[in-house]
């Protein structure tokens, strides 16, 4: 099973549509669960915001291979990520991806991570990161099944 943990709701309609599109496609091959955590109000300090988000994230990451998205993480080509992803799936690992909010991800969560992944050297909003990650996951599944989507 794949879990993607993301702070708050998706506000952008086009992102909701894209995520729904990939959710249906991925779910044909494996269970995927999107978890929207509670987010602190905008008046909360950065440090307190990260602490509260950490508490929410920790509720969902036990017993899984934890991948935290961060711009300083490891970058993979589509083929490389597909091989890594296939290996994790064949190892019967639950995989949890964590996407940070506007303050990023708490350092304690990063330290618990099995891997830090970068989707790009650019920084994206958490909503766009979710959409990109869903496409990356779907593309990886198609590559591993030798479907022509990747071409």
At 46, which CATH number? 3.40.1280.10
Q: Assess if residue 98 is contained within a domain.
A: yes
101 or 3: whose pLDDT is higher? 3
Q: Which residue range forms the structural domain that includes residue 10? A: 2-145
Q: Assess if residue 126 is contained within a domain.
A: yes
For the whole model, what pTM was predicted? Answer: 0.93
Q: Assess if residue 84 is contained within a domain.
A: yes
Q: How far apart are the first and last CA of the chain?
A: 26
In this prediction, what percent of the chain has a pLDDT beyond 90? 76
Average pLDDT, the chain: 92
Q: Assess if residue 151 is contained within a domain.
A: no
pLDDT digits (tens, 9 = 90+) for 15-71: 999 999 999 999 999 999 999 998 877 767 888 888 888 999 999 998 999 999 999
Quote the CA–CA distance of 4 and 68 in Å, as a whole number: 10
Q: Assess if residue 150 is contained within a domain.
A: no
Q: What is the largest CA-CA distance in the chain?
A: 49
């Amino acid at each position: 099973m794949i879990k993607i943990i993301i702070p708050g709701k998706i506000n952008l309609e086009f992102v909701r549509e894209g995520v729904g599109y990939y959710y249906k496609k991925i779910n044909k091959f494996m269970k995927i669960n999107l978890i929207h955590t509670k987010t602190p109000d905008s008046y909360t300090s950065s440090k307190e915001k990260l602490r509260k988000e950490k508490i929410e994230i920790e509720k969902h990451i036990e017993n899984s291979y934890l991948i935290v998205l961060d711009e300083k993480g490891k970058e993979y080509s589509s083929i490389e990520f597909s091989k890594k992803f296939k290996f994790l799936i064949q190892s019967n690992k639950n995989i949890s991806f964590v996407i940070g909010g506007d303050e990023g991800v708490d350092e304690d969560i990063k330290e618990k991570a099995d891997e830090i992944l970068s989707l790009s050297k650019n920084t994206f909003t958490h909503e766009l990161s979710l959409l990109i990650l869903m496409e990356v996951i779907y593309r990886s599944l198609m590559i591993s099944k030798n479907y022509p989507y990747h071409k």
